[in-house]
């Protein structure tokens, strides 16, 4: 039998299943799929072709950039070394000038003569006020270093005298009261040498020029800065890079050569990073002091700036900067000069960003901890793709610089986008090709899909008819191709399904009849599925029934028909009273009453036995048959369930089953024997009489009584 499909329900279920799937897994119309496939095929082919060419061109471009950048880096390193060497030679030449040695001698003697010269309280107050307003307050406002007045004031009377008379007038004109007095030896040295030394400073680049005696005392400054008159040994700036250069680095420098410091924060420069070059001043073979020259940042930037080679190499956006061994930036990157705001945005450390903005330069402040820098200081020059200190993708090269007193690496880099700029034009051309090719592929796919999918609706409708139970199809010719073969196979499938459904229906009925012959009717559903087969134990009444007929008067066929008639009557009466049939044979049956919510079922069992005896008597009389009935009833806990022993068997077991079988076996012809447990469980007042014998089961007597076949309402004086 075929069950037609509800088309609306099927469509709704299909839509629900479709919508529950991810977007990319949902089914789509074949016409759209073919069109999409052609477009994707064209896109994949174009993309594959473009990718292969892109990566090949990218490799060639980067290989070329590698060679150019390596040459550029070496050129920048060489030019930087030469520029630094020229600057150091000039410092050495200035230090070797006899006029400088003479000036140092004059300032040293003049400064020594001030040892017992003290400022008045008013002058000291003016000096303190100057430091508070022009040194401490600006430094605290920058919030770079923590300083107090005691940290920066000169420690000696001579130092305070020199700063009061020279630093204050130079840095804060009109802010001090200059008392009249006699000229000192220091004033004489200043008058004789200041103009000469100032000209040397301007010729070098305008940075401060310092004369330092052998004791580490700064006895002269062309800028008259607040380091004038301080000691680099135990004064306020004894921990500065300048002090280290004078006391340590120059001792390791060969005679006649100068040495450099790194850029570092220097309080006399207003807290800004400063770089010094220094050389020993000699009088003959004797070192009489040190010449220190401040090299302005702009001067070092000029040394490291490109000299036109980059443009010739095609690297117009190349950037070069110097990094010290402590990873601090030592020259101004071109990216800072071009766009300071964008550069600040790239600095990840908020404190470094704040200080850089306050000082107006990242030199001496920003840490450059990148792969090229690390590689250079590890002795392995770097060329390749990396990220710079601003976390931008660059193509970089690095190498060390040979400069006395410092350990520097020069880094040359170019943004990766600039290095790959020619590839962008290639991608643009590929985009134009794709914009032309893909619409053409879509148009061709549309017409091809329309032609290919024309027979599909007919085949789908035929499949829908088969699903709805139609078994005789009338399909047109779908062509001499796969669609035609599909139509023929659908027709054949419908005929095959018809035969199979007919065979399945016959088999189903045979199976259900077989199950009903073995199992209780309430365990076999209408669709042939067996349910409720688990073991259950309940208080119930067991009815053992045995049929017999006059075997001398009947042949085998007639005997079988008579027993089948008796069995059918018993099953019908049991079904009417909701009594389960547990086991059946040709001449005996076992029934259980009371499985369910109604209790032990004793009344139903007694009624069933009485009705069975009466109806069999009527059937036998009408058919001129001689039936003999043996019935035994017992009540108690009964277990029932499906026995799994290789065959389908539903059975009941327990003491009531044994007693019922024993009672029925010992009952007389047409006698219904009931044990006392059944009579006690019955709610009705059933008529019974004494039995002729007592049943023994394993040497245990069972008291039984005989049930009369007269209904209880008609047994007025039935024996008790």
In a domain, 648, yes or no: yes
What CA–CA distance (Å, rounded) separates 451 from 435?
26
**Residue listed under structure tokens 């473009």:** 50
In terms of Cβ atoms closer than 10 Å to its own Cβ (0-12, 13-18, 19+), residue 528 is middle
Question: Among 253, 271, 299, where does a domain finish?
Answer: 299
Same domain, 244 and 189: yes
What CA–CA distance (Å, rounded) separates 201 from 193?
12
In a domain, 681, yes or no: yes
Sign for the CA dihedral angle at 666, 671, 672, 676 comes to negative
Outline where 97-184 has alpha helix (H). 98-112, 121-131, 137-142, 149-152, 157-162, 168-171
Q: What is the pLDDT of residue 645?
A: 54
Same domain, 480 and 528: no
Same domain, 505 and 561: no
What CA–CA distance (Å, rounded) separates 213 from 227?
14
Using pLDDT thresholds of 50, 70 and 90, give the confidence band for residue 468.
Answer: confident
CATH number of the domain enclosing 542:
3.30.70.1230
Q: What is the pLDDT of residue 228?
A: 93
pLDDT at 50 over 80: no
Same domain, 580 and 676: yes
What CA–CA distance (Å, rounded) separates 573 from 609?
9
More confident residue, 420 or 141: 141
Per 3-state DSSP, the chain is made up of helix, strand and coil in percentages (nearest 5) of 50, 20, 30
Mean pLDDT of 281-310: 77
Q: Which of 4-18, 54-68, 320-334, 424-438 has the highest mean pLDDT?
A: 320-334
Same domain, 639 and 700: yes
More confident residue, 35 or 305: 35
pLDDT at 343 over 60: yes
The answer to whether the predicted template modeling score (pTM) of the entire model surpasses 0.85 is no
Strand partners, 269: none
More confident residue, 177 or 666: 666
Average pLDDT value for the chain:
80
More confident residue, 91 or 313: 91
Q: Which of 304, 298, 294, 199 is nearest to 245 (CA)?
A: 294
Question: Among 299, 334, 352, where does a domain finish?
Answer: 299
In a domain, 499, yes or no: yes
Mean pLDDT of 145-153: 86
> Can you say how many angstroms the Cα of residue 697 is from the centroid of all Cα atoms in its chain?
76
What CA–CA distance (Å, rounded) separates 244 from 591?
115
What CA–CA distance (Å, rounded) separates 376 from 390?
19
Using pLDDT thresholds of 50, 70 and 90, give the confidence band for residue 107.
Answer: very high
Q: What is the pLDDT of residue 717?
A: 42
Same domain, 202 and 177: yes
Mean pLDDT of 7-36: 67
Mean pLDDT of 615-624: 78
User: CA 8, 12, 14: angle at the middle one, nearest 5?
Assistant: 115
Same domain, 162 and 267: yes
In a domain, 319, yes or no: no
More confident residue, 406 or 422: 406
Three-state SS letters, 287-323: EEEEEEEEECHHHHHHHHCCCCHHHHHCCCCCEEEEE
Percent of the chain scoring above 90 in pLDDT: 15
Using pLDDT thresholds of 50, 70 and 90, give the confidence band for residue 31.
Answer: low
Same domain, 499 and 576: no
Q: What is the pLDDT of residue 267?
A: 86
Q: What is the pLDDT of residue 715?
A: 40
In a domain, 306, yes or no: no
Lowest mean pLDDT among 34-43, 95-104, 540-549: 34-43
Report residue 40: phi and psi, to 5°: -65, -35
What CA–CA distance (Å, rounded) separates 308 from 314?
10
Q: What is the pLDDT of residue 20?
A: 73
Q: What is the pLDDT of residue 624?
A: 67
Parallel, antiparallel or unpaired: strands 258-260 and 209-213: unpaired
What is the tens place of the pLDDT at every residue in 549-576?
Answer: 665 566 767 777 778 888 888 888 988 8
In a domain, 608, yes or no: yes
Q: Which domain holds residue 499?
A: 465-518
Q: Which of 239, 277, 148, 223 is nearest to 231 (CA)?
A: 239
Using pLDDT thresholds of 50, 70 and 90, give the confidence band for residue 369.
Answer: very high
**Residue listed under structure tokens 């270093």:** 145
In a domain, 275, yes or no: yes
Using pLDDT thresholds of 50, 70 and 90, give the confidence band for residue 646.
Answer: low
Same domain, 169 and 139: yes
In terms of Cβ atoms closer than 10 Å to its own Cβ (0-12, 13-18, 19+), residue 135 is buried
More confident residue, 514 or 91: 91
Q: What is the pLDDT of residue 309?
A: 40
CATH number of the domain enclosing 121:
3.30.450.20
In terms of Cβ atoms closer than 10 Å to its own Cβ (0-12, 13-18, 19+), residue 7 is exposed
What CA–CA distance (Å, rounded) separates 169 from 165?
7
What CA–CA distance (Å, rounded) separates 65 from 45?
30
Q: Which of 211, 103, 122 is nearest to 160 (CA)?
A: 122
Q: What is the pLDDT of residue 520?
A: 62
How does DSSP assign 556-605, residue by residue?
HHHHHHHHHHHHHHHHHHHHHTTPEEEEE-SSEEEEEE--STT-S-HHHH
What CA–CA distance (Å, rounded) separates 250 from 278?
8
Provide the phi-psi class of 286: left if phi over 0, else alpha when psi is between -120 and 50, else beta: beta
pLDDT at 516 over 70: no
* Three-state DSSP state, 719: coil
In a domain, 360, yes or no: no
pLDDT at 405 over 80: no
Question: Among 518, 539, 562, where does a domain finish?
Answer: 518
What is the tens place of the pLDDT at every residue in 206-234?
Answer: 789 999 999 999 999 999 999 999 999 99
Number of structural domains (the chain) is 3
The token pair that represents 107 in the structure block: 């300032």
Q: What is the pLDDT of residue 211?
A: 94
Same domain, 509 and 546: no
Same domain, 595 and 509: no
Same domain, 472 and 609: no
Strand partners, 538: 638
């Amino acid at each position: 039998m075929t069950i037609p499909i509800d088309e609306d329900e099927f469509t709704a279920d299909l839509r629900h299943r479709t919508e529950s799937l991810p977007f990319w897994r949902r089914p789509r119309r074949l016409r759209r799929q073919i069109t999409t496939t052609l477009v994707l095929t064209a896109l994949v082919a174009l993309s594959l072709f473009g990718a292969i060419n892109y990566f090949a061109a990218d490799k060639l471009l980067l290989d070329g950039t590698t060679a150019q950048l390596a040459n550029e880096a070496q050129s920048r390193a060489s030019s930087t070394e030469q520029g630094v060497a020229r600057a150091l030679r000039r410092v050495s030449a200035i230090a070797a000038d006899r006029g400088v040695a003479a000036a140092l001698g004059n300032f040293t003697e003049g400064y020594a003569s001030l040892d017992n010269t003290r400022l008045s309280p008013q002058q000291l107050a003016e000096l303190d006020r100057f430091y508070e307003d022009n040194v401490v307050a600006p430094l605290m406002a920058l919030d770079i270093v923590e300083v107090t007045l005691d940290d920066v004031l000169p420690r000696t009377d001579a130092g305070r005298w020199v700063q009061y008379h020279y630093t204050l007038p130079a840095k804060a004109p009109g802010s001090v009261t200059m008392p009249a007095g006699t000229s000192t030896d220091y004033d004489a040295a200043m008058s004789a040498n200041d103009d000469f030394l100032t000209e040397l400073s301007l010729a070098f680049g305008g940075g401060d020029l310092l004369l330092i005696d052998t004791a580490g005392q700064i006895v002269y400054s062309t800028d008259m800065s607040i380091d004038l008159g301080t000691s680099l040994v135990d004064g306020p700036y004894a921990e500065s890079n300048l002090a280290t250069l004078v006391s340590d680095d120059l001792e390791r420098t060969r005679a006649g050569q100068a040495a450099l410091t790194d850029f570092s924060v220097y309080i006399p420069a207003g807290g800004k990073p400063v770089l010094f070059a220094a050389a020993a001043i000699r009088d003959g073979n004797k070192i009489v002091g040190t010449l220190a020259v401040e090299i302005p940042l702009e001067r070092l930037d000029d040394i490291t700036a490109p000299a036109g080679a980059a443009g010739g190499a095609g690297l117009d956006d190349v950037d070069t900067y110097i990094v010290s061994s402590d990873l601090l930036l030592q020259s101004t990157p071109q990216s800072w000069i071009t766009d300071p705001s964008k550069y600040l945005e790239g600095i990840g450390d908020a404190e470094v960003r704040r200080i850089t903005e306050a000082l107006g330069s990242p030199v001496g402040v920003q840490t450059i901890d990148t792969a090229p820098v690390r590689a250079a200081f590890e002795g392995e020059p770097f060329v390749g793709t990396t990220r710079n200190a601003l976390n931008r993708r660059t193509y970089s090269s690095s190498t060390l610089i040979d400069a006395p007193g410092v350990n520097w690496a020069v880094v040359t880099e170019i943004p990766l986008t600039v290095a790959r700029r020619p590839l962008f034009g290639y991608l643009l051309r590929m985009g134009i090709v794709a914009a032309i090719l893909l619409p053409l592929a879509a148009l061709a796919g549309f017409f091809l899909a329309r032609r290919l999918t024309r027979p599909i609706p007919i085949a789908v409708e035929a499949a829908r008819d088969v699903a709805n139970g139609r078994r005789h199809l009338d399909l047109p010719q779908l062509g001499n191709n796969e669609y035609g073969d599909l139509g023929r196979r659908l027709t054949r499938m419908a005929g095959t399904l018809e035969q199979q459904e007919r065979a399945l229906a016959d088999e189903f009925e045979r199976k259900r009849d077989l199950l009903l012959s073995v199992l209780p009717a309430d365990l076999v559903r209408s669709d042939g599925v067996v349910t409720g087969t688990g073991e259950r134990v309940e208080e119930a009444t067991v009815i053992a029934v045995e049929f017999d007929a006059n075997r001398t008067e009947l042949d085998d066929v007639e005997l079988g028909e008579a027993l089948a008639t008796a069995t059918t009557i018993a099953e019908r009466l049991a079904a009417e009273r909701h009594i389960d049939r547990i086991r059946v044979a040709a001449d005996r049956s076992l029934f259980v009453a009371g499985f369910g919510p109604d209790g032990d079922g004793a009344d139903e069992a007694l009624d069933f036995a009485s009705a069975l005896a009466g109806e069999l008597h009527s059937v036998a009389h009408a058919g001129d048959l001689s039936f003999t009935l043996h019935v035994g009833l017992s009540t108690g806990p009964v277990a029932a369930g499906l026995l799994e022993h290789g065959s389908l068997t539903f059975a009941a077991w327990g003491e009531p089953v044994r007693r019922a079988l024993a009672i029925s076996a010992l009952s007389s012809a047409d006698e219904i024997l009931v044990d006392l447990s059944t009579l006690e469980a019955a709610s009705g007042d059933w008529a019974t009489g004494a039995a002729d014998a007592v049943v023994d089961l394993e040497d245990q007597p069972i008291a039984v009584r005989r049930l009369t076949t007269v209904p209880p309402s008609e047994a007025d004086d039935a024996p008790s």
